[in-house]
């Protein structure tokens, strides 16, 4: 059985590995070597490792690319979250859950709504339309989870100002001379 000599933190290590170990990428070899020095029985981990084929080689790449795309798409949701945050504050005030009643109308509905929109836009307090439904009637949302999710999604789509960009682009495409 082949052995691999490696050094981590100034300490020399020697590890018995299987033949398949050398077919792995450098990144995967390093992961196995580092994990082996942290396990109770490092040799058993390296020997029992099985190369599962192409999926092992591509799954990390998919996470990196997909993770970036999902993060970018999540950032596009900021305007909708701002609108939902503002609506949530207005609903909260209308239901009498806003706190101090001695505040002026301007303070309750304008200043705090703008603050809620800021918190929604910065994702300090991310809100969705389903949050408004849950605040208004939590029992109904609990009794109808699928319908509330569908209606919440539809509300998110309708309240997302970025959807107006798509409508504007379609109108321009239709109105453009051929």
What pLDDT, in 10s, does the model give residues 107-157? 878 888 899 899 988 888 888 898 889 988 999 999 999 999 999 999 988
User: Binning pLDDT at 50, 70 and 90, where does residue 69 land?
Assistant: confident
Beta bridge partner(s), residue 12: 7
**Is 27:63 a contact under the CB 8 Å cutoff?**
no
pLDDT for position 143: 94
**Is 37:8 a contact under the CB 8 Å cutoff?**
yes
pLDDT for position 17: 83
What pLDDT, in 10s, does the model give residues 12-52? 888 888 888 888 887 788 777 777 776 544 444 444 444 45
Rounded to the nearest angstrom, the gap between the alpha carbon of residue 110 and the centroid of all alpha carbons in its chain is 30
Enter the tokens of residue 56.
């092992």
């Amino acid at each position: 059985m082949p052995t691999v000599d490696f050094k981590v933190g100034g300490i020399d290590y020697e590890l018995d590995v299987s033949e398949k170990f050398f077919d792995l990428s450098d990144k995967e070899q390093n992961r196995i070597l580092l994990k082996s020095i942290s396990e109770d029985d490092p040799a058993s981990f390296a020997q029992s490792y099985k190369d599962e084929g192409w999926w092992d080689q591509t799954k990390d790449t998919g996470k990196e690319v997909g993770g970036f795309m999902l993060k970018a798409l999540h950032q596009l949701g900021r305007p909708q979250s701002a609108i939902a945050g503002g609506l949530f504050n207005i609903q909260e005030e209308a239901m009498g859950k806003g706190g101090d009643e001695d505040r002026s109308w301007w303070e309750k509905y304008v200043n705090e709504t703008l603050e809620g929109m800021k918190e929604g836009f910065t994702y300090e307090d991310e809100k969705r339309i389903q949050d408004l439904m849950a605040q208004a009637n939590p029992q109904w949302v609990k009794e109808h989870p699928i319908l509330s999710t569908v209606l919440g999604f539809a509300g998110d789509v309708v309240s997302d100002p970025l959807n107006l960009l798509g409508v504007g682009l379609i109108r321009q495409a239709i109105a453009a001379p051929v």
